[in-house]
Amino acid sequence: MALIENPLFAKFFARYGARNEARGNARLRAELLAGLSGRVVEVGAGTGLNFPHYPPAVAELVAVEPEPTLRAKAAEAATGAPAPIRLVDGVADGLPAEDGSADAVVVSGVLCSVADPAAALAEFRRVLRPGGELRFYEHVRARGAVWARFQDFSDLLWPRLMGGCHPNRDTLSAIRRAGFEIVRCRELIFPPTARISVVAPRVHGVAVVSSPSSVR
Ligand SMILES: C[S@@+](CC[C@H](N)C(=O)[O-])C[C@H]1O[C@@H](n2cnc3c(N)ncnc32)[C@H](O)[C@@H]1O
């Protein structure tokens, strides 16, 4: 049995998830993944929209996707991708990877949806080698109070419609609390013309495991 099944959201996402790619999202994905090499674990790969953007220097991409409909779409996307992809069923807080075995962990639009972000981030730390990178592109809680309040209000219903996605998470703080140091981060509104979309405030960057003593 699949670990997470969300057929309605999966159908919606499979149909409309790529609508922003031509409006700049594909470029943001390419930037997110630029320079990666070695063994990479992508968590919550969805339909595989990141796959075309992995550099050929990636020797193996372990793409973890728990939702069966999305995983089937990802299998199609994996064909012809520039890096070899092993697509597996699994969840963020129980990754099918050995301790310290990954050069990088990649998440885009996932930490909003996992039930327990702290457990997921602890698992990312476990599988990363020392010096390995967490590459993240996530929508987050808005900085402005009005926008954030709107997200809080939307959170009453949004997760039920959107596969458990919470629009109001302070994901950067969660990454830091999990013992990562943010080494690069861009805060952006996407699409740039969005005025008050619940998923428009985003963070895009790189974090590395900081020394155990700095874990708060
Ligand atoms: C909005 S989609 C993003 C998909 C893809 N990362 C992208 O950038 O297009 C959220 C993804 O997170 C996955 N997801 C949700 N909960 C998860 C969990 N606990 N572990 C791993 N993936 C999860 C969903 O199945 C879905 O593929």
CB contact set of 111 (below 8 Å; sequence gap of 6+)? 117, 120, 121, 136, 138, 169, 171, 174
CA 67 – ligand 1 centroid, Å = 8
> Probe ligand 1: pick from 6, 32, 110, max atoms within 8 Å of CB?
110
| Residue 131, phi-psi category: left (phi > 0), alpha (psi -120 to 50), beta (remainder) | left
Do residues 46 and 19 touch, judged by C-beta distance below 8 A?
A: no
Q: pLDDT tens digits for 105-144?
A: 999 999 999 999 999 999 999 999 999 999 999 999 999 9
Q: Is the CB of 151 under 6 A from ligand 1?
A: no
Do residues 115 and 164 touch, judged by C-beta distance below 8 A?
A: yes
Do residues 123 and 95 touch, judged by C-beta distance below 8 A?
A: yes
Q: How far is CA 90 from the centre of its chain?
A: 14
In CATH terms, the fold of domain 7-214 is Rossmann fold (3.40.50)
Instruction: Name residue, tokens 């992809």.
Output: 85
CB contact set of 114 (below 8 Å; sequence gap of 6+)? 44, 91, 92, 93, 120, 164
Q: What is the pLDDT of residue 214?
A: 42
Q: What's this model's pTM, rounded to 2 decimal places?
A: 0.95
Give residue limits of the domains in the chain.
Answer: 7-214
- Kindly report the number of other CB atoms within 10 A of residue 59's CB atom: 12
Q: pLDDT tens digits for 19-63?
A: 999 999 999 999 999 999 999 999 999 999 999 999 999 999 999
Q: Is the CB of 43 under 6 A from ligand 1?
A: yes
Q: Is the CB of 55 under 6 A from ligand 1?
A: no
- Using alpha carbons, select from 17, 10, 113 the residue that is nearest to residue 69: 10
Q: Is the CB of 95 under 6 A from ligand 1?
A: no
- Using alpha carbons, select from 165, 170, 164, 192 the residue that is nearest to residue 182: 170
User: Distance between CA atoms of 17 and 180, rounded to whole angstroms?
Assistant: 29
